[in-house]
Structure 1
Amino acid sequence: MAEAVKVKDIGAGGGAFRKYCRLVHGDVALWRVFRNELLVLLFSNIPGALGIVLRRIFYPCMFRSCGGGVVFGRSVTLRHTHKIDLGRGCIIDDFSLLDAKGETNNGLSLGAGVYVGRHSSVYCKNGDIVLGDRVNISSHCTLFSSNRLQVGEGCMIGAYCYFLSGGEYDYKDATPFADQLGMGTRGELTIGDDCWFGTRVTLLDAASVGKRCVIAAGAVVTRPVPDRRLAMGVPARVIREI
């Protein structure tokens, strides 16, 4: 993954409007900026079934690709939509965030039937996130990538989970943390198919998880977990095979 830039540096140069466009929309034609802004202004906060129907009709044109039957909740924040793929039947619940920010990344790819719960954030800083079919993300979760984060099919992610791929600072570097990019990484974060993560699980950079694993509530995973294992604790330890 190419070197990222800090969010506050994305809009360096130009006026306030240009900075806003680069932060929210990326490097796209001006007519796309105005179209997306108008659609959000008109339809983002309409409550109930009417809002869902109108957003289902008008929002898909903003994305790189969007399958049929995608549901957008109220007040969803969408950034760099030209680098977001949504599979058929995805549900993006109220007040959630999808952000594919970056200058050289591929962005976000959500498979068919993915659910992103209320107040959850799935976002990049020059990284990529790939969610397999039927991934279920509960409320108040954060999935972040400045590298690559891939979640296998059918994974269940409990509320308040935090998955981090990249985003590390170098404490050995004399450069003040505020001046570092904060995009250091030890490797990609990969999660196998059919895993279950309890509430408030923290999954740190390069701590990949194998297929059909169970990670108990409150665990902090700092190292890879093999296939078919139950892990728990801080830091998480494998308890047994399942």
Structure 2
Amino acid sequence: MASPVTPGAEDRLRRWLIRRAGELRGRPLAIDERIPVGTLGSLVLERAAMAARGLARFPTRSPRPFVGRGVRLRAKHRLLFGRGVTFGHGSLVDATSVHGVTLGNGVTVGRNTRIECTGSVATLGAGLAVGDGTGLGTDSLYGCAGGITIGRDTIVGNYVSFHSEDHVFASRELPIRDQGVTHQGIEVGDGCWIGSRVTVLDGARIGDGCVIAAGAVVVAGDYPPYGVYGGVPARLLRERSR
């Protein structure tokens, strides 16, 4: 019968796994000590598999991303990324656009998230640019026809949607689908937190350090820095304290 792992050996293994996980991710990780060693080992193996997929998808490029299972990447020549970028399982990135998709160092595209840069073949879309350290949550949609810019170190929650395109409906005589679209673009600053199930519409400009409450609808207009906004449509609830 095999002898159990001693506490000292388990501690050394834990430290090694945490160090290896940080190396694979490209930055140090804070990991709760209560997480079992076996779980850490599984995470490291999963990360290594994602690194291998990145090598297979981008054999001649460096740095290479971490690529999850079932990831679809279209117009890869228009896709630029820094170190430690992750494409979560089942995500889609279609970079077909004027400016393509640029993802800074450490950007994470969450599971099942879709980035679509062109909404119609009639008009080539603008694209997406995301700053270092930003996380794009799971099960989200980024419609980048009019262009989306998101700053550094911003958190985007799950089930969030961005729509940088708006339909014209001025005429009652013509079907809305025949009246064309407008593109103002969307801007999100540095260090923001966009809550779960938020909808951000074309023309919204969210300043640095803003918090958008879960379920809010952010319409066209300016949202000054360091405000907490919520509601439908989103309005200022309070300013963040210093």
TM-score between the two structures when normalised by the length of structure 2:
0.72
Is residue 118 of structure 1 aligned with residue 115 of structure 2?
no
1:208, distance to aligned residue in structure 2 (A): 0.9
Contact 2:167/2:177 (CA < 8 Å) preserved in 1? Answer: no
Alpha-carbon RMSD across the aligned residues, in angstroms, is: 2.0
Aligned residues: 188
Q: Counterpart of 2:196?
A: 199
CA distance in 1, matches of 2:104, 2:203: 22
Q: Counterpart of 2:78?
A: 83
CA distance in 1, matches of 2:132, 2:48: 27
Unaligned runs of 5+ in 1: 1-46
1:177, distance to aligned residue in structure 2 (A): 3.5
* Greater relative CO (CA pairs within 8 A, separation 6+): 1
Q: Deviations over 1:71-120 (max 9, x none)?
A: 00001011111111011100100000101123xx0110000100011110
- Aligned-residue sequence identity (percent) comes to 33
Q: Deviations over 1:19-56 (max 9, x none)?
A: xxxxxxxxxxxxxxxxxxxxxxxxxxxx9567424312
The one-letter amino acid paired with 1:165 is S
Q: Counterpart of 2:52?
A: 54
Q: Which SS does the other structure have where 2:204 is aligned? A: coil
Contact 2:145/2:164 (CA < 8 Å) preserved in 1? Answer: yes
CA distance in 2, matches of 1:67, 1:113: 14
Unaligned runs of 5+ in 2: 1-44, 119-124
Q: Which SS does the other structure have where 2:55 is aligned? A: helix
Q: Counterpart of 1:232?
A: 230
Contact 1:136/1:156 (CA < 8 Å) preserved in 2? Answer: yes
1:68, distance to aligned residue in structure 2 (A): 2.3
CA distance in 2, matches of 1:73, 1:177: 39
TM-score between the two structures when normalised by the length of structure 1:
0.72
Q: Counterpart of 2:102?
A: 109
**Counterparts of residues 35-74 of structure 1 (less than 5 Å):** 51-61=49-59, 67-74=62-69
Contact 2:58/2:64 (CA < 8 Å) preserved in 1? Answer: no
CA distance in 2, matches of 1:95, 1:137: 14
**Counterparts of residues 202-213 of structure 1 (less than 5 Å):** 202-213=199-210
Runs of 4+ that moved beyond 2 A = 47-54, 66-69, 173-181
Q: 1:55 to 1:180 in 2, by over 3 A?
A: farther
Which of 1 and 2 has greater Rg?
Answer: 2
Q: Counterpart of 2:128?
A: 129
CA distance in 1, matches of 2:104, 2:62: 9
The one-letter amino acid paired with 1:122 is I
